[in-house]
Chain A
Amino acid sequence: MFWTFLTSTIKFSTLFLYGSVGETITEKSGHLNLGIPGIMCLGAIGGCYGVRSYIDSLGSLSQMSGFAVVVVGIICAFLFAALGGMIFSFFTVTLRCNQNITGLTITTFGVALNSLMLSKLDTRGFYEAGRLFAKGIVDANTTDGLVKVLFSQSALVYIAIATAIITAIVIKRTRVGLNLRAVGENPATADAAGISVGKYRYLATLIGSGIAGLGGLFFIMDFLTGNIEYGIDTYGWLAVALVIFTIWKPNWAILGSIIFAALYRMPIYLNIGQMEREIIKMLPYIVTVLVLIITSIFGRKSVQPPAALGTTYFREER
């Protein structure tokens, strides 16, 4: 029972992990992308339509290759979600619009497009594709214990954890990461040092959105094994909360996302009333607010939001 809970929690946490790693990269560049829920939806649309066209290109469902369907899904979801990031960057960097306004509009757009586009989608073969997405190294039904937790997970789970670790290393240890942080902390100084603020913001938002979009793909194809009836927007906001909860550190997000997922999944496994369930659902947000408050009171510089978060940079306007 415990191992089953842990396995399913880690699986569910992947959704938050993709969203929060993507948003962390974006926020490190100074972009507060409130369009993340919408962008995760765009990722889901891209992934689903990619899988659809892959299935259509095959003669029969039995020809479907697990590797190919996952790769096609990942590429399509990444590109489609990156398109959302492109829109965001175009508005905030090139057109110098307010980031909150643009982000909220992208969320409305993405969520609405998700429910409309997916309702029109032909889902024949999606269950089979979903099974291939969710396939682990070992079978979850026949194993137990730590082996089950560690080795029955699907490819997208491992990719999420790898992405989080790589992102953490790039941000903390490389020159690109240093420049990225400089752009997010003080764009004017970064600009004076010869770093192209616009380029870094564009790229960080594109890559971050692409990664977040994989969360959408994971949710539909892997977690729900091809069931397209549920939206992701609520989880998208939790991903934004998780960025704060893990104080902008992608490696901590691995643990943070598991905690969030555990809080979210716990009511299903506990025998409690509706009221208690609703209270437990509130906890991730309350914990996030507490982290935000505590870091702002006691925090050293390293645990603060990027100083230029949410501000538009225009060289002539200093």
Chain B
Amino acid sequence: MRSVTGKVSKFDAFVDKLKKESPIHISKRMDAPKWLPIVIRIAAVVVAFLVCAIVTVFFEPTAFGTFFTEMFKGTFGTERRVINLFWEAAILLLIALAVTPAFKMKFWNIGAEGQVLMGSLMSATCIFYLGGKMSEGGLIVLCLLASMVGGAIWTLIPALFKAKWNTNETLFTLMLNYIATAIISTIIAVWVKTGSHVMGIMPNGHLPKIGGEDYILNILIVALITVLVWVYLKFSKHGYELSVVGESINTAKYIGISVPKVIIRTMILSGALCGVAGWLLVNGASYTINTTLAAGRGFTAILVSWLGHFDPLTMVITSFLVAFMGRGAAQVSTIANIGGSFADIVTSVFFFIIIASEFFVNYKVKFSFSHSKKKVEGETTQNTSEDDSSDAEMMSDTSQATDSEAQADEILEESSPELHRGQPLAAKTSDVAAQNKEVTE
């Protein structure tokens, strides 16, 4: 047992060396219990709320209590506000659902904003030219089809170039957002001849109201689409293929999946769903068209999808959370008289904290002082287990390696057969071994 104490002093030196190299050790979580990610995320949401309240105080010192009460008043205060909250969550969820298949395929489509706008433009075009000339029901269906085509074209362009020439899709789709915005301004300039260049409310193609309220039908449509997308991703062959492409293009090729076909098919689906979102915005919510119709939701939806781990059912929760933050913070800024963009600040601070929490879900952080302590304790009680880790030590520190070899020499008979590998090396450095014996005796 005396040899063990010698080992510890050397081991401490080794740990000190490690400490200098990296004080924090990060590794992937492999065997985390199921409840842990949920607990971390709930904790993150709570922390994020507190931080947002503190940020509010920074802008308006008396608003700490107001923050919490108004967050809920703004979202659940009246029946109208609850419907608004559900609608905001629904439209975010729909766009998030649209980008999710692409993201699962690791196709970084950040052009949802433009795809939604193109969908809404196509729908508005149908209403503008055909409104009043055909039945309302027919017009609404035609609008839906047109907007799906509009959105799909806007994803098909980058998808074709990605499939054929591997053109960078992130940059491509980003640029298409601004082209879509400019196309809408151009068309509005053609339609509206007055100096204001603002499109008024269009009288035709409104989605029917359920129970006298707007948005109810929209929310139901999104609920249906959510289930369909969930089934598509989880149970269909297409859904399986696109996740294989996302995991490894080489594997996909090897098992006979045509990668260009999957990319193009998935992107058409993605664009068509964005088109549906544009259709809902025009025909079911604002009844007009302008460049800020999507209002940044195309970008926010990316966060919703990512935070929901690309799982449609989890995304229901994240979209509600994000809509709650947005609506609630808008109410806080109105009551505390802070300013219009305050809601965006609170929402982005909220996002920062949630994004950071994902790190703790995926990775384990060990600080090396706790790391070394545990190791040393293990060493003193059990002398065979340390030799299992001797391979790693050999790689990082030769003197340490020879030290453990010398030890291995002594306890060779009772320990595992792997240790034989180290024997010749230990013999060569016999002086080190002798030194070590001196220390131990």
Contacts and interface: CB of A to CB of B under 8 A. Distances in A.
A317 interface: yes
A97 B359 contact: yes
A275 B189 contact: yes
A237 B306 contact: no
A174 interface: no
B212 to A, nearest CB: 35
Interface string B288-311: 000000001001101100100000
Interface in B163-186: 165-168, 170-172, 174-176, 178-179, 182-183, 185-186
Interface in A191-250: 237, 240-241, 244
B342 interface: yes
A108 B108 contact: no
Given A108-B296, A285-B179, A292-B175, A115 B197 contact: no
B179 A116 contact: no
A138 interface: no
A98 B355 CA distance: 9
A68 interface: no
B189 A116 contact: no
A95 B186 CA distance: 43
Contact of A116 (B182, B197, B338): B338
B186 A278 contact: yes
Given A95-B359, A286-B179, A309-B168, A237 B174 contact: yes
B183 A282 contact: yes
A281 B356 contact: no
Contact of B166 (A91, A107, A109, A296): A296
B161 A293 contact: yes
Among A109, A240, A278, residue most surrounded by chain B Cβ atoms (within 10 Å): A278
B283 to A, nearest CB: 24
Interface string A77-117: 00000000001000100011110111011111101110110
Contact of A34 (B167, B174, B349, B352): B174
A235 B176 CA distance: 15
B347 A285 contact: no
Contacts of A316: 27-28
A105 B356 contact: no
Contacts of A240: 171, 174
Contact of A115 (B172, B183, B340, B349): B340
Contact of B179 (A97, A244, A282, A309): A282
Given A292-B168, A309-B168, A109 B349 contact: yes
B391 interface: no
A307 to B, nearest CB: 11
A297 B165 contact: yes
B342 A293 contact: no
A104 B175 contact: no
B203 interface: no
A177 interface: no
A305 interface: yes
Given A237-B174, A275-B189, A285-B182, A104 B303 contact: yes
Nearest to A299: B165
A309 B358 CA distance: 22
A289 interface: yes
B190 interface: yes
B93 to A, nearest CB: 17
Contacts of B97: none
A100 B106 CA distance: 12
A278 B306 CA distance: 34
B167 to A, nearest CB: 4
A129 interface: no
Q: What band does the interface of chain B fall in when counting residues whose beta carbon is under 8 Å from A?
A: 35 or more
Contacts of B83: none
A279 B165 CA distance: 28
B110 A112 contact: no
Given A116-B338, A237-B174, A104 B299 contact: yes
Given A104-B302, A292-B168, A297-B165, A109 B352 contact: yes
Contacts of A293: 161, 165, 167, 172
A241 B175 CA distance: 7
A167 B299 CA distance: 31
Nearest to B291: A278
Contacts of B306: 98, 101
A135 B76 CA distance: 55
Contacts of B175: 241, 244, 285, 288-289, 292
A278 B185 contact: yes
B171 A116 contact: no
A74 to B, nearest CB: 26
Interface in B381-428: none
B160 to A, nearest CB: 10
Nearest to B345: A112
Contact of B172 (A96, A106, A111, A292): A292
A314 B347 CA distance: 29
Contacts of A97: 355-356, 358-359
Given A34-B110, A96-B363, A112-B348, 9 more contacts: A95-B356, A95-B359, A96-B359, A96-B362, A104-B302, A109-B344, A116-B339, A241-B175, A282-B186
29 contacts: A91-B356, A96-B362, A96-B363, A97-B359, A100-B302, A108-B299, A109-B352, A111-B341, A111-B344, A112-B344, A112-B345, A112-B348, A113-B341, A113-B345, A115-B340, A116-B59, A116-B338, A241-B178, A274-B197, A277-B189, A278-B189, A282-B179, A286-B179, A288-B175, A289-B176, A289-B179, A292-B168, A305-B168, A316-B27
